[in-house]
Amino acid sequence: MTRLHAPQRPVVTPDGRYLTVETSGASDGAVVVLLHGTPGSRSGPRPRAIALHHLGVQLVCYDRPGYGDSDRHEGRRVADTAADVAAIADDLGVDRFAVVGRSGGGPHALACAALLPDRITRAAVLVGLAPAGAPDLDWYAGMSETNIEAFAQADEDLAELTRTLTVRAEEARRDPMTLLEFLRPHLPEEDIRVVDDATLRRLLTDMYAEALRHGPEGWIDDVLAIRRGWGFDLGAIRAPVRLWHGAQDRFSPVEHSYWVASRIPRAEVEVQVGAAHFGAVEILPRILAWLAGPELADSPRL
């Protein structure tokens, strides 16, 4: 059953928090929930409504806790996302759906696949991360200094992490372009090509402005959640999973996707040479087409 209505709506979680949800695309299409990155918001880059109609996708985006207009969930774990997404699906009258997570949203999409096995048809992760402490993985290898700094502060100095991200959020609220300017020296050529597109640059700055306009809390909580225990078993995922990664990614190195895929029974990895972190924006339409594919053909074996 699917009864999606208003493009934007508040959804109340079982513990009384508000989440701001947006829907777009084909009202009778396959439902896909998009989990934005870190930092990010429901307004992040996505195909236009007409493109979603052609893909046969009803896309559901929401501000994850602490971002945009969604209430903070202090102390949240990655696993807690599953209950939020289930509440959104219940409110929209959706029984089964697919999920896709981009960057910091990747682990959260996997949480849904692991903890909502009867509801998730397929899952995709674009430029995602592996759990902290993953055996046989040098977690920081190939990662940019900016990400290493934030994640290390999450482990060692919460006060410093809070100060660092508060300053960046305040600067981004005054001028969202400052966040892209801060990242630019750390971007490989493959990412510079993407973010130099004027339309995408506007979408990214709009997303950052919306994500951080009430403060850095969602960003702080994301960094902490990613570095702490995720609260679920990757091996429990039974839905088909596709992981996409740009080979030149410096924010979440490609080895993370290889490691995650090795722990999921029905996972496949696509690594694209000549692409990096922001290539996830360009690949999204093709991933959505896969997520909206025939459910029965890929249903878990009994």
Please say if the pLDDT value at position 297 is more than 60. Answer: no
Please say if the pLDDT value at position 269 is more than 50. Answer: yes
Please say if the pLDDT value at position 18 is more than 50. Answer: yes
CATH architecture of 8-298: 3-Layer(aba) Sandwich (3.40)
State residue 7's pLDDT score: 77
Over residues 162-219, the pLDDT tens digits come to 999 999 999 999 999 999 999 999 999 999 999 999 999 999 999 999 999 999 999 9
Over residues 103-153, the pLDDT tens digits come to 999 999 999 999 999 999 999 999 999 999 999 999 999 999 999 999 999
Give the 3-state secondary structure of residue 103.
helix
Question: Cis omega (within 30 of 0) on the bond before 39?
Answer: yes
The alpha-helical segments, DSSP class H, found in the chain are: 49-55, 81-92, 106-115, 145-156, 158-174, 177-183, 189-195, 198-212, 217-227, 254-262, 279-291
Please say if the pLDDT value at position 24 is more than 70. Answer: yes
State residue 294's pLDDT score: 74
Q: Write down the pTM of the prediction.
A: 0.94
Dist CA 201 CA 186 (whole Å): 16
* Mean pLDDT value across residues 10-24: 97
- Average pLDDT over the chain reads 94
CB 203 within 8 A of CB 15: no
Give the 3-state secondary structure of residue 21.
strand
Q: Please report how many Cα atoms fall inside a 13 Å half-sphere around the Cα of residue 225, on the Cβ side.
A: 27
Cα–Cα distances (Å) from 172 to 62, 103, 167, in that order, read 20, 19, 9
pLDDT band of residue 227 (cuts 50, 70, 90) is very high
pLDDT band of residue 301 (cuts 50, 70, 90) is very low
| Residue from 192, 180, 208 nearest 277 by CA | 192
